[in-house]
């Protein structure tokens, strides 16, 4: 084979490889069309609850239907207004089933890099009643399941990036959270992204499960998210699946008695199953 032919073949291979690399490393963006609606299913399971290092033997779970909608462009440039409505909330705690009231809808403004911001609705500050939903802080989990952040530049497989954000969580206020993201791969339009995160919770109040009708102070709270894997559909411009585990560590003050508390929770967000065909 002549040298010139080899050079041409090598140049063609290099050009093809470069084209594929560029195609695979297009910037990830959040750019859904206004008016888009979709339905999801959110589930959470309380894996363990311990106080002073001793398991309390509490078993809990919660689920909710999530209706999502892009209600229009946001006030800031390159943002959209995103609304989540949780309904059909069901939970159980130690085998006792309940149907708690649905949380207030969440209205967020999201930019092209996935940064979410929201105003805390009136009456939502100062308390979290997660014991009503099987020990699962359902609104917090619903936000965490949808949060996915991108970089300005394109990223390739196994690329990692870190982002520090602040979010207003209902009942808690401003929560700083540091997250490390990793692009694990992509199948067609679906990008597989893993992450780990650490968040610091401000002090807040919660119902005292030991003395019904009273509240306890929750202080020095810390949230650690591990084993998080999200599927992001670049064509639909939204998260289509999330699986993650989180741990909440805090000190609780029950009428002057302070004790360390730890909750370990697993949560999943998936597309809602389509309605069954009616029987004929």
pLDDT on residue 101: 87
Over residues 62-91, the pLDDT tens digits come to: 999 999 999 999 989 889 999 999 999 999
Residue with tokens 């936000």: 143
Q: How far is CA 249 from CA 44, 49, 58, 204, 244, in A?
A: 17, 10, 16, 13, 17
Say how far apart CA 82 and CA 209 lie, in whole Å. Answer: 34
> Predicted confidence band at 208 (pLDDT cuts at 50, 70, 90)?
confident
Fold observed for domain 25-271 = Lipovitellin-phosvitin complex; beta-sheet shell regions (2.30.230)
32 CB-side CA count, 13 A:
25
pLDDT in tens, 123-164: 444 456 677 788 888 888 999 999 999 999 999 999 999 999
Residues 107-128: pLDDT tens digits? 999 999 999 998 655 444 445 6
Q: Domain ranges in the chain? A: 25-271
Do β-strands 215-233 and 190-201 pair in parallel, antiparallel, or remain unpaired?
A: antiparallel
CA 85 from chain centre, in angstroms, equals 15
> What's the pTM value of the predicted model, to 2 decimals?
0.83
Supply the pLDDT for residue 58: 86
């Amino acid at each position: 084979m002549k040298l010139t032919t080899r050079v041409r073949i090598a140049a063609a291979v290099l050009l093809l490889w470069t084209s594929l690399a560029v195609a695979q490393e297009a910037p990830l963006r959040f750019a859904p069309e206004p008016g888009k609606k979709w339905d999801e299913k959110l589930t959470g399971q309380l894996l363990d609850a311990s106080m002073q290092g001793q398991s309390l033997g509490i078993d809990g779970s919660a689920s909710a239907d999530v209706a999502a909608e892009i209600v229009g462009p946001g006030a800031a440039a390159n943002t959209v207004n995103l609304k989540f409505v949780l309904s059909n909330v069901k939970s159980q705690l130690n085998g006792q089933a309940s149907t708690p009231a649905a949380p207030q809808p969440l209205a967020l403004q999201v930019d092209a890099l996935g940064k979410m911001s929201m105003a805390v609705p009136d009456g939502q500050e100062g308390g979290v009643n997660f014991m009503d939903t099987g020990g699962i802080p359902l609104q917090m989990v619903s936000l965490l399941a949808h949060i996915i952040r991108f970089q300005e530049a394109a990223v390739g497989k196994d690329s990692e990036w870190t982002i520090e954000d602040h979010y207003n969580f209902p009942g808690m206020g401003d929560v700083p959270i540091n997250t490390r993201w990793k692009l694990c791969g992509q199948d067609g339009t679906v990008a597989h992204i893993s992450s780990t995160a650490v968040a610091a919770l401000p002090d807040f109040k919660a119902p005292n499960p030991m003395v019904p009708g009273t509240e306890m102070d929750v202080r020095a709270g810390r949230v650690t998210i591990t084993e998080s894997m999200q599927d992001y559909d670049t064509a639909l411009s939204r998260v289509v699946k999330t699986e993650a585990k989180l741990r909440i560590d805090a000190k609780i003050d029950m009428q002057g008695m302070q004790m360390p508390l730890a909750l370990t929770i697993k949560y999943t967000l998936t597309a809602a199953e389509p309605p069954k065909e009616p029987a004929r």
